[in-house]
Copies of this chain bind each other. A is one copy, B any other.
Amino acid sequence: MSDTVFKAIADKSRRKILSLLKEHGSLTAGEISEYFTFSKASLSEHLKILRHADLVYSRRRGQFIHYRLNTTIFEDLLTWVLELKK
């Protein structure tokens, strides 16, 4: 399990982004930013961290960039937790 993933989910705002994406399926950076008070530049930074951890995909559709969860990494995270719990 990569350190990058644990660092990515260590931040409360990023976890909130994940749950927003879970709830809505897909959101643009602009839509996500409506749920937060910090700047769009800061949000972009958070999204970059989530992207690098492979926790989200992004795909540009015209002017907008759509984000969605990449659930494959959660599989690994699940394995890590179960390994310690069992």
Contacts and interface: CB of A to CB of B under 8 A. Distances in A.
Main secondary structure of the interface of A (DSSP, over half): helix
Contact of A84 (B6, B74, B81, B85): B74
Contacts of A52: none
A18 B84 CA distance: 8
Interface in A55-82: 69, 71, 74-75, 77-78, 81-82
Interface string A5-34: 011011110010011001000000000000
A84 B7 contact: no
A9 B6 CA distance: 7
28 contacts: A1-B15, A3-B12, A6-B9, A6-B10, A6-B11, A6-B12, A6-B15, A7-B10, A9-B10, A10-B10, A18-B84, A19-B83, A19-B84, A22-B83, A22-B84, A69-B84, A71-B84, A71-B85, A74-B81, A74-B84, A74-B85, A75-B85, A77-B81, A78-B78, A78-B81, A78-B82, A78-B85, A81-B81
